[in-house]
Structure 1
Amino acid sequence: MQTITVGPSRIREAVTMREAIDAVRAGFLDLAAGEFEMPTRTALRDGQFLVMSAHHRATASAMIKTLSLNFDRAPAITGTVVWTETGRVDSLVADAGAVTTLRTGAAVGVATDLLAPADAGRLTLVGAGAQAPDQVRAVHTVRPLRELTVVATDPRRAEKLAESMAPELPGTHIRTSADVTAAVGEAEIVCCATNTTEPLFAASALPARVHVNAIGSFRPTMRELPDELLAHSTVVIDELGAVLEESGEIRHAIEAGGLTRNDLTELGTALSAPEAPRGEQTVFKSVGVAMQDWAIARLLADKFLA
């Protein structure tokens, strides 16, 4: 009996984004089928400390993640993911920062593959923090990018991210912009990965045909998207209970009367009925759920445990 510890570099070497997307997609389907016990996460100190857990009934496996968030330090996400399974005597402990960014990107990959136009190839990324690279990788995996525009409040961070992503995106035109309104106006896909408390752009700034992913806000006080966009879009979420408790933009739009609970479709349900009618503008709003961490932890367990 032993505990295997897997650090960030080994996680990156072991799990491709395609594998992560496939695993998280399967996880969302199982979530919709009722295969998980998954309590809403515990948030302490207004979200600076988070505890998440999930039990997968079919495999008798469980995952617990504990992490701390501090956007003024690098890395911003620190903590551990612990995996156990009744069929294995060994357990696994993985770096929570790498698992979190990978699984968040993977969820965006699943949603983008389902909701974005098949020919979409122009991505505007708003935010250049820890989550940003895996947002790009995930979208590129399901919709090969012709153009990438990075928008950030700090132009130096935008330039640094653009430079770091260039080797992974051969043939993609990459640029930075300080004008978020202009940048989203030219996009076919938008990814928002910020910790803002106010909407990043007006709904009128977006093209008539666009898919928007919003993963940055995870507390009721945080909002990346305007009410008007949510009111007039097909809105897909990761999990109803989680977004009603934690998503500032969903809560605000419901309180303003532009959105109801019946307007929200969980991603697992949408995957089960991919031909359901949807509008020209689609939104995926995610606050992150423990199933996603379980999905990545299971991949790691399969690779590192006997």
Structure 2
Amino acid sequence: MKIFSGDEVRRTVPMAAAVDAVREAFGELRAGNFVLPARQVFGDGAVLVMSAYHPPSRTAVVKKIGIALDQVPAIRATVIWTGAGEQIVADGTSITTLRTGAVVGVATDLLAAADATRLTVIGTGAQSADQVRAVLAVRRIAEVTLVGRDAGKAAALAGSLGEEFPEVRFASGTDIDAGIADAEVVCCATSSSTPLFRADALPARVHVNAIGAFRPTMRELSRDLLATASLVVVDQEEAALEESGEVIDAVEAGVLSRASLLDLGDALAAPPITSGRTLFKSVGVGPQDWAIAKLLSES
């Protein structure tokens, strides 16, 4: 058995490798090469259990997640990966933030303007740094703005990431509308239950990623944004319609049709022509964890 701490996960799997692995996993998902049992939810979302089995390689991953939004860190998880004659137990918190960043990297590479240089991240929690790392892995970003309710926390995160990426200019603040006014890529990584901004606060051409809301009662994106976006991509339609508050709300209100939702795997297989405001909404699926655990197994 191999055991990986959070630091060992980070040292073993750089973000660029994670993006590539997650991209390949969504290709496998589209091809029907995963068995995905329904996510188990306990205690009104306080405990989640996700799993995925990959028949071609006869490997499987199981992740147990404990969520307490009033604690730091808010997410505590453990990942178990099994293959032929081997087993891995790894810190699931680091894998979760890494694979969530990685899928945003995949979507941003597919949907954002090729020459995008300005990124805004809303939220300064545990997921935020990997959102920045992922977008920087796929675009030549020159300016990053970090927006959070706590000015000191946002400034501290900007300072830390500035040391990691000295070639990038970092700024921070608390005004969301000001932060997104000229952004070319926006990442939402909050636990908000109400939309963070209206569509008209965004530039006419922008790509928005939303990864924070994972319950039907949570919202990061406004109904008017989903109604007017030129393209709405989700990690998996079935998962989005069960867990994404924004998508569920927009579909039930009749401003977004199920038929207009595009699975990420399908979008990767036939890249769409992008224009205007594009959206990627992720609630997370098992193949993402499998992809990172597979890299650990090969180390």
Task: Tell me, in whole angstroms, the C-alpha distance in 1 between the residues paired with 2:177 and 2:263.
Answer: 29
Letter in 2 for 1:48: A
Does residue 264 of structure 2 align to residue 267 of structure 1?
yes
Counterpart residue number, 2:41? 43
Letter in 1 for 2:181: G
Task: Tell me, in whole angstroms, the C-alpha distance in 2 between the residues paired with 1:73 and 1:260.
Answer: 37
Measure how far apart 1:263 and its partner are: 0.9
**What does 1:234-253 correspond to in 2, within 5 Å?**
234-253=231-250
- Percent identity (aligned): 52
Q: What SS does the aligned partner of 2:38 have? A: coil
TM-score if structure 1 supplies the norm length?
Answer: 0.96
Counterpart residue number, 2:82? 84
Measure how far apart 1:277 and its partner are: 3.0
Deviations 1:112-131 (A, max 9, x none): 00000000010010000000
Q: What's the Cα RMSD here? A: 0.9
Measure how far apart 1:4 and its partner are: 1.5
TM-score if structure 2 supplies the norm length?
Answer: 0.98
Does residue 161 of structure 2 align to residue 165 of structure 1?
yes
Runs of 5+ unmatched residues, structure 2: none
**What does 1:182-201 correspond to in 2, within 5 Å?**
182-201=178-197
Measure how far apart 1:171 and its partner are: 2.2
Measure how far apart 1:39 and its partner are: 1.9
Deviations 1:171-194 (A, max 9, x none): 211111111011111100000000
Task: Tell me, in whole angstroms, the C-alpha distance in 1 between the residues paired with 2:69 and 2:42.
Answer: 16
Counterpart residue number, 1:70? 68
Measure how far apart 1:44 and its partner are: 1.3
Does residue 283 of structure 2 align to residue 287 of structure 1?
yes
- Following TM superposition, where does structure 1 have runs of at least 4 consecutive aligned residues deviating by more than 4 angstroms? none
Counterpart residue number, 2:3? 5
Runs of 5+ unmatched residues, structure 1: none
Number of aligned residue pairs: 298
Measure how far apart 1:232 and its partner are: 1.5
Measure how far apart 1:215 and its partner are: 0.1
Task: Tell me, in whole angstroms, the C-alpha distance in 2 between the residues paired with 1:149 and 1:260.
Answer: 33
Deviations 1:136-188 (A, max 9, x none): 00000001211111100111211111111012222211111111011111100
Measure how far apart 1:79 and its partner are: 2.2
Aligned with residue 203 of structure 1, among 199, 202, 206: 199
Does residue 143 of structure 2 align to residue 124 of structure 1?
no
Measure how far apart 1:288 and its partner are: 0.6
**What does 1:98-137 correspond to in 2, within 5 Å?**
98-137=94-133
Task: Tell me, in whole angstroms, the C-alpha distance in 2 between the residues paired with 1:35 and 1:127.
Answer: 34
Task: Tell me, in whole angstroms, the C-alpha distance in 1 between the residues paired with 2:273 and 2:97.
Answer: 30
Q: What SS does the aligned partner of 1:37 have? A: coil
Task: Tell me, in whole angstroms, the C-alpha distance in 1 between the residues paired with 2:140 and 2:273.
Answer: 24
Please say if residues 40 and 241 of structure 1, whose CA atoms lie closer than 8 Å, have aligned partners that are also in contact: no
